[in-house]
């Protein structure tokens, strides 16, 4: 039963390879997601990673086997319809000896439907018919009519050419293409057209790729073949069906490895084994002229529909983020591909700028927070109940300002009793300007919250509850995006410090 299921899955993969229907793929914690467009419909499915399965005793596998038998019959019929829809023979020829040697996809031979009959039909169509003889008089009349038609078409072509030349003088030809702009400021960001003329189905057609032993051969072979790669090699221990098993083959253009470069131990004779290769090469030596990349390069290339820079995916390099191609970009949401300065809010930018300034402002704010905790302890429960309300945030900011003023007065009284002068921290003009901008932003947020409360009062009870639920979910998303931006800001700061 397991072998039959695996065979049906490989038959379905061969259909996707032949029809070039595979579109996207994503590596997740659960497994590998694939998306294909089959007869105009987008189909998404999940394939788990191949780990050792732990058989448990509290599962009735007989009942599960009944469902598996049903789905085996269903998938077999689906494969039959898919194969016949593109003119392929089903079931394909299966070589069990190759499959026992681990050939998998290479164990199948894809054939067309009745090639002999189709060839005879083609010859019959192309064969000329000699049932009737041609009358010379009729032929002369037809030739005259054809000559008249040619002369009239030549005159029309000359007129159209002159008209097009006049139009070119009046209008300037531009090579620009249209762009999709959102109709409203908060509209969704639409994918923009590009000048790319390359066919994504032939993305790897010019590549000869060798898979190292540590890479996932099954998924890589399926994706590479689905996107046009005809020459895929791997080590002989991984099974039959490889284009080449010789890692030193000069025809190989790319090699996929998944191990960091490690200094190899060198013997007395000067020989050593590199952990990146299957054959014996010198320590950390590679074949000249060959591109070495990590497996993520394949997935990112097919999702972007173009070959990515190989230096970003070199062995041991810090890989770029592997983003899901199934997530739509929403206006205002966190986007890892966009610089932080272009997507952070005005308040976040001011907070980050103030945090980078001197320690004087930080000490005052820390003292204000301490006073706030001491004086407003009775209001903690109310804040936990209404943490999503903008009015409460404005009230908290007012309390912080009052606490700051109270702390300043307390410092002045203590200095007066001690007979000393109060040393006010000197603020930088830029810092003072940022603080004023922050206060103005808080004041504007308070006014907007008051206007929103007045507008909510005009709604009915049912609509008000619905609006509050929408506002609550939007605030949660905004908080999550803010945390992601803050996390990225810290990582960028640490990276900048390490460079220095």
- Start-end of H helices in 20-95: 61-85
Q: Give the confidence band of 440 by pLDDT, cuts at 50, 70, 90.
A: confident
Whether the CB-CB separation of 20 and 226 falls below 8 Å is answered with: yes
Question: What letter does residue 30 receive in the DSSP assignment?
Answer: S
Q: How far is CA 378 from the centre of its chain?
A: 48
**How does pLDDT run across 302-316, given as a tens digit for each residue?**
999 899 999 999 988
**How does pLDDT run across 441-459, given as a tens digit for each residue?**
778 888 888 888 888 888 8
Q: Give the confidence band of 180 by pLDDT, cuts at 50, 70, 90.
A: low
Given a cut of 90, is residue 185 above it in pLDDT? no
**Closest C-alpha to 232, from 109, 106, 107, 93:** 106
Average pLDDT, the chain: 76
**How does pLDDT run across 88-106, given as a tens digit for each residue?**
999 899 998 888 888 889 9
Inter-axis angle of helices 390-418 and 429-456, nearest 10:
140
- The answer to whether the bond into 45 is cis (omega within 30° of 0) is no
Domain boundaries, the chain: 2-115, 200-313
The 3-state DSSP composition of the chain as helix, strand, coil percent (nearest 5) reads 55, 10, 40
- Cα–Cα distance measured from residue 109 to residue 129, given in angstroms and rounded to the nearest whole number: 38
pLDDT, residue 312, reads 92
Q: Give the confidence band of 477 by pLDDT, cuts at 50, 70, 90.
A: confident
**How does pLDDT run across 345-368, given as a tens digit for each residue?**
777 776 767 766 654 444 444 544
Structure tokens at 359: 């320690």
Residue 108, helix vs strand vs coil:
strand
CATH 3.40.50.10190 holds for 200-313? yes
pLDDT, residue 58, reads 82
- Cα–Cα distance measured from residue 438 to residue 288, given in angstroms and rounded to the nearest whole number: 58
Whether the CB-CB separation of 358 and 434 falls below 8 Å is answered with: no
Q: Give the confidence band of 390 by pLDDT, cuts at 50, 70, 90.
A: very low
Tell me the range of 103-117, 271-285, 421-435 where mean pLDDT is highest.
103-117
Of 14-18, 34-38, 114-118, 474-478, give the lowest mean pLDDT range. 114-118
Given a cut of 80, is residue 197 above it in pLDDT? no
Q: Give the confidence band of 421 by pLDDT, cuts at 50, 70, 90.
A: low
Given a cut of 70, is residue 213 above it in pLDDT? yes
Structure tokens at 337: 């591909």
pLDDT, residue 357, reads 64
């Amino acid at each position: 039963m397991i072998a039959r299921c695996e065979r049906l899955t490989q038959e379905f993969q061969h259909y996707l390879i032949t029809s070039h229907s595979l579109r996207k793929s994503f590596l997740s914690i659960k497994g590998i997601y694939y998306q294909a467009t089959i007869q105009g419909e987008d189909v998404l499915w999940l394939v788990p990673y191949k780990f050792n399965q732990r058989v448990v005793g509290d599962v009735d596998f007989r009942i599960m086997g009944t469902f598996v038998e049903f789905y085996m019959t269903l998938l077999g019929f689906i494969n039959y319809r898919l194969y016949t829809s593109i003119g392929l023979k089903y079931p394909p020829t299966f070589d069990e000896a190759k499959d026992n040697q681990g050939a998998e996809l290479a164990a199948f031979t894809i054939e067309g439907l009745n090639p002999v009959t189709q060839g005879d039909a083609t010859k019959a169509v192309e064969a000329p018919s000699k049932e009737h003889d041609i009358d010379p008089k009729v032929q002369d009349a037809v030739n005259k009519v054809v000559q008249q038609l040619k002369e009239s078409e030549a005159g029309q072509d000359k007129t159209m050419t002159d008209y097009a030349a006049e139009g070119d003088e009046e209008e300037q030809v531009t090579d620009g293409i249209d762009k999709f702009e959102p109709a409203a400021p908060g509209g969704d960001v639409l994918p923009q057209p590009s000048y790319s003329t390359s066919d994504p189905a032939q993305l790897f057609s010019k590549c000869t790729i060798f898979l190292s032993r540590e890479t996932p051969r099954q998924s890589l072979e399926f994706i590479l073949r689905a996107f046009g790669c005809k020459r895929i090699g791997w080590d002989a221990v991984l099974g039959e069906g490889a284009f080449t098993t010789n890692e030193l083959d000069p025809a190989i253009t790319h090699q996929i490895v998944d191990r960091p470069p490690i200094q190899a131990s060198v013997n007395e004779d000067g020989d050593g084994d590199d952990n990146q290769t299957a054959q014996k090469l010198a320590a950390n030596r590679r074949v000249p002229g060959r591109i070495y990349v990590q497996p993520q390069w394949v997935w990112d290339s097919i999702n972007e529909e173009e070959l990515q820079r190989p230096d970003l995916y070199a062995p041991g390099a810090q890989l770029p983020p592997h983003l899901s191609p199934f997530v739509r970009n929403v206006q205002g949401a966190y986007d890892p591909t966009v610089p932080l300065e272009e997507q952070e809010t005005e308040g976040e930018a001011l907070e980050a700028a103030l945090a980078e300034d001197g320690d004087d402002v930080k000490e005052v704010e820390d003292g204000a927070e301490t006073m706030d905790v001491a004086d407003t302890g009775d209001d903690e429960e109310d804040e936990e109940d209404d943490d999503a309300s903008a009015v409460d945030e404005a009230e908290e900011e007012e309390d912080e300002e009052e606490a700051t003023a109270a702390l300043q007065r307390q410092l002045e009284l203590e200095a007066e009793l001690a007979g000393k002068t109060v040393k006010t921290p000197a603020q930088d003009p830029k810092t003072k300007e940022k603080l004023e901008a922050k206060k103005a932003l808080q004041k504007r947020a308070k006014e907007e919250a008051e206007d929103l409360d007045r507008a909510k009062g005009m709604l009915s009870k049912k609509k008000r509850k619905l609006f509050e639920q929408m506002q609550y979910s939007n605030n949660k998303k905004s908080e999550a995006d803010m945390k992601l931006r803050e996390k990225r800001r810290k990582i960028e700061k640490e990276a900048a410090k390490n460079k220095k």
